[in-house]
Structure 1
Amino acid sequence: MAPSSGGGRVLAWGYVGCLMLLKSTLSCLCLGPLPCCPDATPPESPLASMGRTRRRELTRLLNLAWNTHVQPEREWNCIDISRVGSRDATRAGKWRGSSPTCVVYWAFEWAKLPILAQGLLARPMDGPTPSDDMVVEASGVRQRLFCPVIGCPCSDPTRTAGWTSKETIRSHIDAHLGGALAGEVPAEWLQAHNRQRCSVCGLSVSTRHGVHPTCRPAAREASGPAAGSAGAAPAGIWSGPSFADLLASRTTTLRHVPAAARHAWSQALSRALAAVAHSNTEHAWRQLFLLPQCVLCPPPRGGRKHRKAAGAYTRDRAQRWLEGERQFLWESRHMPARRGGRAAPSDEERRRLATALTREGCDGKACAALLSKGLSPETAATAEELRMLHPSHPAPRARSERDLPASLDIDADAVARALRAFPAGTAPGPSGLRAQHLLDASAPGVVHDGFLRHLTDVVNLLAQGAACNSVAPYLAGAALVAVPKPKGGVRPIAIGEVLRRLTGKCLAESVREDAKAFFWPVQLGVAVPSGVEVAVHAVRSYCARQAKATDRVLVKLDFENAFNTISRDAVLTAVTEHFPHLARWVHWCYRQPSHLLFGAFGVQSAAGVQQGDPLGPLLFACVLQSLGRELKAGPLDLAVFYLDDGVIAGTPAAVGQALRHVQQRAAEVGLRLNLRKCEAVAVGATTADSLTAHLPREILFGASGEGRVARNFELLGAAVGDDDYTAAHTHARCQAAVPLLDAISGLEDPQVGLRLLRACAGHARLVHGMRCTPPKAQLSALEEFDALVQGCFSSLTGLRLTAEQVRQTQRGLALRSAARDAPAAYLASLGGSILACADLDPSFEVAAVPQPSAEHALQLPDG
């Protein structure tokens, strides 16, 4: 709707006072009576002796009196001060000092007032010519402007009131230029009003400026580095690096955003996220990927002594980003020298890294650093091994996005919870953006308005599968590291982008209850609390119940490279059917091959689910669920899966038939059962010879013909078998902890060592075995482990405590005894799993729980 002319006139003095002042002035000048109409001509009067100041004051008074006393006619017009483009309406009146006198600024058209027309203030210059939007109609009312776009309803004077000036019509013109209204604004109209289209946003701007002030950073970004920056600006427009070049640059980023730079970082990140959510173009996504590498690259000089300078360095780069100097930031980023190889670090390097990680709260990573033997070198041979673990596969069947159900809406609170759930020190993906960077941008006191809202918008954009398709291979890709296996080969570890992991965490939490109802009681690896302990207790109870059986066998299933080879077409079909709210996001991530980066080498991932994906376990288990239900409905006594680890038990004939069924059904979804790694366990009094007629030879015999049928076995890290096997298994685990305890003893900082001893290397190291294994058989090994922990404590502190002193200081030092806690840990796990075990195994009874082990656990140690 066009704005009305509005605006009242301001009177400087009262009507009576004005006339009295005018009368006295005219009488002094002998001008005679004031004419009663505009056509009247005042008598000639000699004014040559009057100075410029007196004539200006007289003219002001005469014009004011004329405006007050005489009705305006066709020869002049007093322009409303609120409609003059060159004068701000706020300057129409202002208070001078503390005086209540209002000084009024009046704007009159030149040569339109009768007094001025007679030459009272004749000057050498004629003054400015009236503008087009201030032309006066015959009635004395200013002519109004109408839209110049042909066909626009606001172009018809009979249908709209119009606008009073080009300033007031500007928003309507911008609506046409921006596409909100149809029609093209004629270039002649813009040129006649000294306007042009902004080179950045496309809206109208004065020809004198060419670019809006708020668009200058984007214009500077498009034209290269600003004047005065290091290096000359290149000719042409800088388009920025491609996705492949950007992610392959391997720019190291800071672990934390310096406190001095967090506000500027939050502002820059908020704008980048808002641009992605608003435009969703490849350019906007590339800018988001570019941001952390340009702004959060490490300063030339690091360390505690230069912390203040590092904060100023990062803050300056964030400000330059906001000003649009993207090319300069990209070309000037600091690239620390990388080690040429990935050889095992020295002991001093391990200790230094572990100390730094502990001070950042990454206790688990600190212990891993102390035991690190290095990663596989980034060579062509290693890259080829990784490619073999990521085989090529045909693209999954295309599905229209419109045919897929919409995702659930994710609110800001869910995004904030998922962001806080990231472990401390979470590694970044190829772009360098870390979860800690997002946390620093949303920290209390530095949070930028709308940051969490913009982040939530981007997460919802991804969850709906509506993000730019060209971004999917890179955002759904990952950085690869190769960890050498003890027996040869490499294990690929994928580190995905933080935005992909954040979206996956939010969606996984939204379907948690549905997943538990869907997978239970076949699959215990997804959405089932204490699923490992439930599986171990149920299997141990089954073996105890069949202790006297002569025709029972248990087989542990092992799929070869399962997560990297499962069919993506099967994954997309299963998730669309059973978890429709995840369908769009999963299709967006997996419908085309993703790019994995291993140093300077690239690996294409065309099959399987990414192990760094929070939804990866759910997607894998979703495909296996139909197979698990078929096994459970068959003649087997027990069939349970924990992700890709399966257990089937029953008669040899039933188990053999189930194995053949598993091989057939697994091949349909891209999986292959590795019989050499599957393990057969003769339950009770069953002999190995009775199994040869039903089970494959690869399971029963090794490559050299030796028998492989076991009586005792390890299941999901817990020992299942007789007391001797359990004791030996626990002793081996205790001995495996000795290298870590020795490494902690060598730390120079005792506070760091004590923290690691409490959190990771001591009691916590054996909690899983304590909860899943009866305590009687492992007490001796646990007591030896307690002695090792006390020895490590003595090496750190120089204190040699007696047994009584140890008992007194356990609470204060938080060095708990594994031997004393084992009975309580086992009973707590067993009691919390009994009902779940009854659902898992129809033959399970509470009375079948091994009574001797439970009774021994109830006999608490003295004291």
Structure 2
Amino acid sequence: MAHVGRHWGREHPTIMPPADVWGALELRRNKCGLAVPRTQADSACQCGPCTTAKPKCPVCDTRLDLRSSQVRHFSRHSAAQVRAVPPAVLRTLGVGQRACGKICEVNSLNHPHAISRCLDPVLCGSGLTHAQTLAVRRNRAADDLTGLDDVFAQLRNSPSEFFGAASTHTLVRFVDAVLAMQVRTWKRVPQRLSATVALELAAMLEDLARAPSELEQVRALSRLWTFPTLVLCLPPGRQPSRARAAFLVDRLHKWRADSITELVSAVPVDAALPTGTLTPDLLAKQVQKHMRAHHIGAAARLLESSGIHQVTDDVLAKLRALHPSAADTSSLRHDAHGPGQDSASAADVPWEGDDIRQLILAIPHTSGSGPSRWSASLLHQVLQTEVAGSKVQVALLRVSQALVRRGFEGQAGALWNHARLIPLRKKDGGVRPIAVGEVLRRALGKLALRCLGQAAVDSLLPLQFGVGRKSGLEAAIMGTRMAVLEPTQSEPVAALKVDLANAFNTVSRHTLLRLVHARFPELWPLVRSTYSTPSPLRLGTQMLYSARGVQQGDPLGPLLFSLVLQNVLAQFSAPQVHQVWYLDDGCVVGTPAHLAAFLLAFEHDAQAHGLAINRAKTEFILTGTMTRSDVPDGLQDLLVTSWSEAELLGVPLDATGAGRALAPIARLSRKVLDLARTVSELPCSEEAFHLLRGSVGPRRLAHLTRTMPADVIRAELASFDEGWRHCVARTVGTAPADCLDGTDVRPEWRLPLSMGGLGLTALTDVAPFAFAAGSRAAARALDQVPDDVVPPTLVRWDARFHSDQAALACLPAPVAADDAPPGTLLSSQTQSCRRFFRKMQTDWLSDQGTTTWEFHRRHGISAPFALAWLSMPSAIPLAGHATRMRPHVWQAAVRHMLGLPTRLAQFASQTRCPAISATTGAICGERLDALGRHALACVFGPSRYGRHERVAEALRDFAHAAGLVTVREPAVCDTSTARRPYDVLIGTTGVDVSVVLPDKAGARRTPGSAIRIKTAAKLSAYTSLVSARPGPPAVSATAHSAAVAPTSFCPLVLDIFGRLGDDARPFLASLAGSFQMAKQLRRGQASMILHRALSWPSSGRQPRPCFCGIRHPPSPWRDCNGSSGLRSLAPTPCLSTLATAPGQR
């Protein structure tokens, strides 16, 4: 900026620049007359007049720069010299002095002083922390563990033999006391200690697998569950990484020496862990963390929640009411020694150790941990540790074998099934309990459910649609509608919407165990271990015991509950009553008399199995011409609803849209849009965009499009699409008008990523195909017919709602000869939508009224993998590859991709490029354009070279991660010129990278014309180089010790929109194959990672506060869009890859 000011003052000493140019450049005149950034303080200028105006140090008369802290300067003086300065003078300089003489910032005087930084603890006294407060916190933790004097007395008497000598009751109480401590633990331990922690975990798991009795199992589980709290706890306060690692090493030594007393007494309890409602800043950080872990569901739930209740007596009473205890807990031990206990007769588990490993690694690292604090991120680290990780994998397999063959006994099963209870606050102030079990137990439950497969689904046929049934929701809705519209009896029918009260938490475990014992004996040991004893629910220092129901979060929970419900419903399978159940939500269709008899009998029989009907929420639905007088006497106390107002699972039962039938859709639409507006206000724009696209958007209304005719709900869907599109526009930094092309929505806002769009699904586009596919899937689930047979229900359904005809009317003619037939398209929503969007893309690309630049932009972003950088948040690491974009950088890239003008477009037509050559000092002077095209191609700007460098660096880092030898710009030692023909040498292939403008001189109005011209030029240059000397050019030995002479050449040419030349595809395919083998990835994942790494550097641009060759602080231009065209902008820094520092990944 100062360079521009000097240039203007030298050329125009008496003329003030125009206000629009001066404002566009974000400059102003300083007090001394020098041009400085508008946001720069007067004290930051380094000229002579401004330097003399700076304040002096009251001790040494040195001029002080107030832009930075003065703590370091005053720390050079003695405490006595600083004490002689009046405190008011020090405060004007932003520093202060503590009682011990320590210099600190003024704001820090209001906070306690760390004892590790105190010069004299005697003088500071009560102003210290970590000395007195740590002792207070430890005493407070000891007070929380009341009634455990005998346990700690045994610890003091025999500390080295505590786990081996303590009784079962003592060990359980010890675990309760340790897990009640509020501590912070490592999410990922230091890398050099990961193998040690992994070996400790493997040893504890091996002990658990070999434990033959209840006492031995409790001992093994006590060590396993208390290890993170006692050993992996973080030290108090903020300490350097080296000090924290030393603290962990010390506790590992004490653990191995069985110094349990020292470990327990020195646990750094933190009584100030955050609880309650999250602040907006903390909420945004938590959402960003979940999104970067690809845990979209957790991020959405966090925004929907209203915080966490403080644990009060009222909250505890509500939680106890929701988790009732059984009247006779001895009944839970039904057949405690039944089949499956004998390991000799049990079959091997149907999974391998690698299955357990892959399942745990698939859990997002931000997923909640159980009471023991063995988090998913910590288990990821130990499983990925070389050598030691394989031992953990083998130990986990043996534990699963022991659990499936013989199970855990008594209190060992209770410790295995314990959970951390979180009292979430509902919108109305109520309590929603969330039980978070151990990660290991959840993983083994998922494996067991996966191995049951179709057997679990068949056991619940034909009434239950919520467990393992494909398109179960659609089938439940269709079954209810057809039962009402086409009754099997001549009398008028009504419907009964049944609501079970707290069903999952009250179902009888005695019945549950008995049914599993009879139907799934292979699951018996596992289920007996989990539900034969009351489950401890830990809520801080409080403990609740759940002796009824299945635990929330247990993968087997829905199946076990449905088994009990199916056992009750099997007694009411009369042909006069049609039942449809989706987990605990049921709808029964029959005559009013039959419905009254059903409800009376169901209430009587269900009570014996712990189930009860909530009559306050159970609804009697009137159909046809029925009135309230048709309600039978036994159902008069129920809610009475008309057919046009009834809904099931959030879907209107009346598919015609008459009356108030569409009220549930409008209500859900408003709810989703309110949440979408909250998401659009998040400061992390990129994560907000992916949260809107992946969860808070059309996905939440997708079940409506598959169950309601498109023409009935078209108006509601169009209104939702418009409101949601405005939220997305705000997130990406555009105006709502930018979404439109006249009166129509631009195709970029509707097409999927693979076809050149943002991947924003418009419900009005997919509704006809979704309804046709949902109807076909629902009919097949109801009739259970083979794939080649048309379901009879579908024929009757289509005759009423014409789902196939509506979809075919919106479906374009086949675009290619190999397109699927209409029947296949109608059965697959994906294929039918693909044909619809392919036709939209063809019309969009074939528009002849576009400019040449717009023509190439459309074809560029429509190329395969061109928009791979938009597929997920940039900070999500895929096999170690990720780059974090700042919000304004990401928004600039999106505007560039959409071809939108910049925020400063009004200055573009009046301003010339101020870029200055670093060598000659010449000014570019070309007139700027609103789309920033000149900024991309300015010969004085660094954009062209920067894009080239980023692509080359990304390719080099990817090849290096694949285990290949790479050399950056290898020197050619046998030519007369100094030219280097290769940007990257990968193995024996020399790669020459180039990023071109699609409309460069000589390019035709055909897709990829500039790429082909550049590729031909590079091949010609390489041919000339090789012809000058037989054989490929040799590489200098000084370039890389392992470098070899290239034997092949690959020109890697891309345009600025991410389109890739065809000549490079074979080489990139082989490179992705090498990466896939090195990282042991699935097929296709390595290719996606590679194209994601290449697509962003070629198209992304980052605003910088510098012209060519001049570097200044980045503050003035931070908020300007990178495609402004007002200056030549520097590129984004090189892609962060495996070589990036750990703290920057």
TM-score tier by shorter-chain length is: 0.5 to 0.7
Q: Does 1:668 align with 2:608?
A: yes
| Identical aligned residues as a percent | 27
Task: Mark the CA change 1:650 to 1:235 in structure 2 (over 3 Å): closer, same or farther.
Answer: closer
The equivalent position to 1:409 in structure 2, one of 348, 357, 369, is 348
Q: Does 1:273 align with 2:205?
A: yes
Q: Deviations over 1:370-406 (max 9, x none)?
A: 3331122211211111112222221243445443235
Q: Does 1:759 align with 2:694?
A: yes
Amino acid corresponding to residue 294 of structure 2 in structure 1: G
Aligned to 1:714: 647
Amino acid corresponding to residue 425 of structure 1 in structure 2: T
Q: Deviations over 1:642-691 (max 9, x none)?
A: 22212211112222221122111111212111222111112233333222
Task: Indicate conservation of the 8 Å contact 1:357/1:365, yes or no.
Answer: yes
Structure 2 counterpart SS, 1:403: coil
Amino acid corresponding to residue 818 of structure 1 in structure 2: L
The equivalent position to 2:636 in structure 1, one of 672, 697, 720, is 697
Aligned to 1:237: 159
Q: Does 1:355 align with 2:292?
A: no
Amino acid corresponding to residue 682 of structure 2 in structure 1: L
Task: Mark the CA change 1:757 to 1:403 in structure 2 (over 3 Å): closer, same or farther.
Answer: closer
Query: What is the CA–CA distance in structure 1 between the aligned matches of 2:487 and 2:411, rounded to whole Å?
Result: 57
Q: Does 1:792 align with 2:731?
A: no
Query: What is the CA–CA distance in structure 1 between the aligned matches of 2:238 and 2:484, rounded to whole Å?
Result: 59
Q: Does 1:822 align with 2:772?
A: no
Following superposition of structure 1 onto structure 2, how do residues 380-395 of structure 1 map, counting pairs within 5 Å? 380-393=313-326, 394-395=328-329
Aligned to 1:198: none
Q: Does 1:678 align with 2:615?
A: no
Task: Indicate conservation of the 8 Å contact 1:264/1:315, yes or no.
Answer: no
Query: What is the CA–CA distance in structure 1 between the aligned matches of 2:246 and 2:768, rounded to whole Å?
Result: 56
Task: Indicate conservation of the 8 Å contact 1:270/1:450, yes or no.
Answer: yes
Q: Does 1:847 align with 2:796?
A: yes
Structure 2 counterpart SS, 1:815: coil
Task: Mark the CA change 1:553 to 1:316 in structure 2 (over 3 Å): closer, same or farther.
Answer: same
Task: Mark the CA change 1:639 to 1:750 in structure 2 (over 3 Å): closer, same or farther.
Answer: same
Aligned to 1:184: none
Task: Mark the CA change 1:626 to 1:780 in structure 2 (over 3 Å): closer, same or farther.
Answer: same
Task: Mark the CA change 1:597 to 1:312 in structure 2 (over 3 Å): closer, same or farther.
Answer: same
Aligned to 1:731: 666
Alpha-carbon distance, 1:744 to partner: 1.9
Query: What is the CA–CA distance in structure 2 between the aligned matches of 1:323 and 1:371, rounded to whole Å?
Result: 47
**Rg larger in 1 or in 2?**
1
Q: Does 1:368 align with 2:301?
A: yes
The equivalent position to 1:803 in structure 2, one of 740, 743, 757, is 740
Task: Mark the CA change 1:399 to 1:733 in structure 2 (over 3 Å): closer, same or farther.
Answer: closer
Structure 2 counterpart SS, 1:777: helix
Task: Mark the CA change 1:684 to 1:256 in structure 2 (over 3 Å): closer, same or farther.
Answer: farther
Aligned to 1:296: 232
Task: Mark the CA change 1:730 to 1:857 in structure 2 (over 3 Å): closer, same or farther.
Answer: farther
Q: Deviations over 1:721-757 (max 9, x none)?
A: 1315453322221210123222222222222222212
Task: Indicate conservation of the 8 Å contact 1:566/1:620, yes or no.
Answer: yes
Task: Indicate conservation of the 8 Å contact 1:256/1:440, yes or no.
Answer: yes
Alpha-carbon distance, 1:260 to partner: 4.4
Query: What is the CA–CA distance in structure 1 between the aligned matches of 2:489 and 2:712, rounded to whole Å?
Result: 21
Following superposition of structure 1 onto structure 2, how do residues 79-118 of structure 1 map, counting pairs within 5 Å? none
Amino acid corresponding to residue 285 of structure 1 in structure 2: L
Task: Mark the CA change 1:444 to 1:474 in structure 2 (over 3 Å): closer, same or farther.
Answer: closer
Task: Mark the CA change 1:536 to 1:576 in structure 2 (over 3 Å): closer, same or farther.
Answer: same
Query: What is the CA–CA distance in structure 1 between the aligned matches of 2:556 and 2:377, rounded to whole Å?
Result: 21
Amino acid corresponding to residue 860 of structure 1 in structure 2: C
Structure 2 counterpart SS, 1:495: strand
Task: Indicate conservation of the 8 Å contact 2:621/2:646, yes or no.
Answer: yes
Aligned to 2:713: 778
Task: Indicate conservation of the 8 Å contact 1:396/1:569, yes or no.
Answer: no
Q: Deviations over 1:238-295 (max 9, x none)?
A: 5377121122224343444554443222122111111222345232221111222234
Query: What is the CA–CA distance in structure 2 between the aligned matches of 1:780 and 1:302, rounded to whole Å?
Result: 56
Query: What is the CA–CA distance in structure 2 between the aligned matches of 1:311 and 1:745, rounded to whole Å?
Result: 40
Q: Does 1:687 align with 2:643?
A: no
Task: Indicate conservation of the 8 Å contact 1:549/1:685, yes or no.
Answer: no
Query: What is the CA–CA distance in structure 1 between the aligned matches of 2:579 and 2:305, rounded to whole Å?
Result: 37
Task: Indicate conservation of the 8 Å contact 1:261/1:318, yes or no.
Answer: no
Aligned to 1:98: none
Alpha-carbon distance, 1:611 to partner: 2.1
Task: Indicate conservation of the 8 Å contact 1:635/1:654, yes or no.
Answer: no
Task: Indicate conservation of the 8 Å contact 1:688/1:709, yes or no.
Answer: no
Which deviates further from its counterpart, 803-812 or 519-528? 803-812
Q: Does 1:284 align with 2:220?
A: yes
Following superposition of structure 1 onto structure 2, how do residues 561-640 of structure 1 map, counting pairs within 5 Å? 561-632=502-573, 634-640=574-580
Cα RMSD for the two superposed structures? 3.1
Q: Does 1:524 align with 2:457?
A: no
Task: Mark the CA change 1:785 to 1:471 in structure 2 (over 3 Å): closer, same or farther.
Answer: same
Task: Mark the CA change 1:848 to 1:778 in structure 2 (over 3 Å): closer, same or farther.
Answer: closer
Task: Indicate conservation of the 8 Å contact 1:550/1:687, yes or no.
Answer: no
Task: Mark the CA change 1:567 to 1:802 in structure 2 (over 3 Å): closer, same or farther.
Answer: closer
Query: Does 1 or 2 have the higher relative contact order (CA < 8 Å, sep 6+)?
Result: 1
Task: Indicate conservation of the 8 Å contact 1:516/1:527, yes or no.
Answer: yes
Query: What is the CA–CA distance in structure 2 between the aligned matches of 1:284 and 1:273, rounded to whole Å?
Result: 8
Q: Deviations over 1:770-806 (max 9, x none)?
A: 2222222222222222222322222223223232473
Alpha-carbon distance, 1:555 to partner: 0.5
Following superposition of structure 1 onto structure 2, how do residues 549-568 of structure 1 map, counting pairs within 5 Å? 551-568=492-509
Task: Indicate conservation of the 8 Å contact 1:682/1:711, yes or no.
Answer: no
Q: Does 1:836 align with 2:777?
A: no
Following superposition of structure 1 onto structure 2, how do residues 11-30 of structure 1 map, counting pairs within 5 Å? none
Q: Does 1:860 align with 2:810?
A: yes
Query: What is the CA–CA distance in structure 2 between the aligned matches of 1:399 and 1:656, rounded to whole Å?
Result: 35
TM-score (norm 1): 0.66
Any gaps of 5 or more consecutive residues in structure 1? 1-232, 701-706
Aligned to 2:482: 541
Query: What is the CA–CA distance in structure 2 between the aligned matches of 1:630 and 1:842, rounded to whole Å?
Result: 28
Following superposition of structure 1 onto structure 2, how do residues 10-159 of structure 1 map, counting pairs within 5 Å? none
Q: Deviations over 1:220-254 (max 9, x none)?
A: xxxxxxxxxxxxx9674253771211222243434
Task: Indicate conservation of the 8 Å contact 2:189/2:378, yes or no.
Answer: yes
Task: Indicate conservation of the 8 Å contact 1:542/1:844, yes or no.
Answer: no
Amino acid corresponding to residue 366 of structure 2 in structure 1: G
Aligned to 1:377: 310
Task: Mark the CA change 1:686 to 1:259 in structure 2 (over 3 Å): closer, same or farther.
Answer: farther
Alpha-carbon distance, 1:600 to partner: 2.3
Following superposition of structure 1 onto structure 2, how do residues 161-176 of structure 1 map, counting pairs within 5 Å? none
Aligned to 2:83: none
Task: Indicate conservation of the 8 Å contact 1:494/1:612, yes or no.
Answer: yes
Task: Mark the CA change 1:832 to 1:265 in structure 2 (over 3 Å): closer, same or farther.
Answer: same
Q: Deviations over 1:485-524 (max 9, x none)?
A: 4455322221112232223222222222211121111212
Task: Mark the CA change 1:549 to 1:491 in structure 2 (over 3 Å): closer, same or farther.
Answer: farther
Q: Deviations over 1:351-373 (max 9, x none)?
A: 22212222222222222223331
TM-score (norm 2): 0.51
Q: Deviations over 1:578-602 (max 9, x none)?
A: 1111122222222222211223221
